[in-house]
Structure 1
Amino acid sequence: MAILFIVVAVFILFYINKLTNALCVQKEIPEERQPKVFRTINVLITILLISSYVDILLKSL
């Protein structure tokens, strides 16, 4: 189960990065601010994925 969750989490992170790139292009965010946008979104998504994993892990016990 953990391996499946990790595979799905990696797919979600790559897709979110693709969407973030589209957002930066559409909103014409300057190049110097883009790394901060990517970092913020990646940290928030990672926190969401970890909390989801812990929730699933605790419910299965």
Structure 2
Amino acid sequence: MTFPFILFAVFFLYLINSMTNTMCLEKEIPEDRQPYVFRTINVLITILLISTYIEILYVY
């Protein structure tokens, strides 16, 4: 169960980062603010993935 979830998480983080990059380009976010946008989104998605993994691990 762990290995498929890790593969899913890596793919999901890559997909979210590519969408974040597209959003930064479309909204014309300045270069100096982009690292903060990426960091915030990545931290929130990582928290979501960890909580989902823990829920799957202990509930099912």
**TM-score, with length taken from structure 2:** 0.98
Alpha carbon RMSD of aligned pairs, Å?
0.4
Q: How many residues align?
A: 60
Alignment match, 2:15:
15
Q: CA shift at 1:7, angstroms?
A: 0.2
Unaligned runs of 5+ in 1: none
Unaligned runs of 5+ in 2: none
Q: CA shift at 1:59, angstroms?
A: 1.1
Alignment match, 1:58:
58
Q: CA shift at 1:12, angstroms?
A: 0.2
Which stretches of structure 1, 4 residues or longer, exceed 3 Å deviation after superposition?
none
Q: CA shift at 1:57, angstroms?
A: 0.4
Q: CA shift at 1:34, angstroms?
A: 0.1
